[in-house]
Amino acid sequence: MVREIICNVLELEEGELSPSGRFREDYGADSMNAVEIQSQIEVALDVEIERDDLRRMVDLATVLAILETAKAR
């Protein structure tokens, strides 16, 4: 689900998104894309992501790690 959300927001095919691909540098994302990814993940997974974590959400692997922490709260 997380991969689908990110691909949808960044307008990527699922095969284009790698775990370490950086949203801004590799896929041309901007800050609005980051907020949209955060928002859609929070709604879809019923989880709250800390605002400070938004800056760290730079690739799929980091987003998944942040989600693990958020779910543990």
Sequence ranges of the domains in the chain: 2-72
Q: Is the pLDDT of residue 72 over 90?
A: no
Contact in structure between 33 and 10 (CB atoms under 8 Å) = yes
CATH topology classification for 2-72: 1.10.1200
Distance CA 57, CA 66 (A): 8
Question: How many CA atoms does the CB half-sphere of 18 hold within 13 Å?
Answer: 6
Question: Which pLDDT score, from 0 to 100, does residue 64 have?
Answer: 97
pLDDT digits (tens, 9 = 90+) for 19-33: 999 999 999 999 999
pLDDT digits (tens, 9 = 90+) for 32-56: 999 999 999 999 999 999 989 999 9
User: Residue ranges of the alpha helices (H) in the chain?
Assistant: 2-10, 23-27, 31-45, 51-54, 60-72
